[in-house]
Amino acid sequence: MLLNEGINIKLYMTGTSNSWLEGLVAVEATGGIYHKPGDCLNAVPAVTLNELINRFNIDVGNAVLKMDCEGCEYDVILNDYDHVRLFRELIFEYYSYVVNKSVSDLLNVLSIDYKCEMKGNNNQGIMHCVRK
C-alpha cells in the first residue's frame, strides 16, 4: 500500500467472522490463495485497518484503499466494513472463485456507501468504488 506520505507497506490481514485480530498470516502459494490464518515458516505480522489508520494518521476521508490480496478482499470488506467505509475510494481485485462467494455479496454491502464499477466478470476482475 502506498500512503500519501510516500510510505510503501505490505499489508496482510486476517480475521474471524466477528472481529479483526492481529497475529500472523502464513504467506504460501497454495492453489491460488496466498493468505490464511496461523503460524508457519513464512509468517508475516497481520495488521488491522484500524491499526493502520491510527499508526500512519491516515485522513481516510481523502484516502484510497487499494487491495490486491488474492481473495482476502471478501474478508476485509465483509468483516471490517466499518473501517472500509471510511475511505473515499476503493480499488481492488476480486476473486470470487477463490472464496466461493458471489461478487454480489460485495456489491450488496458496498452499494450502501459507494458507486462501484466492475471490469471483469463474476469470477474475477477489478472493482473501483467511489463514495456517493
Residue range 84-132, pLDDT digits in tens: 999 999 999 998 888 889 999 999 999 999 999 999 999 999 999 999 9
Residue 82 CB neighbour total at 10 angstroms? 10
At residue 131, the pLDDT reads 96
Residue range 25-75, pLDDT digits in tens: 665 555 444 445 554 566 667 778 888 889 889 898 899 999 887 777 888
* Beta strands 24-26 and 43-45, pairing class: antiparallel
Q: Distance between CA 61 and CA 85 in Å, rounded?
A: 9
Residue with cell 477489478: 126
Query: Position 35: which residue type?
Result: H
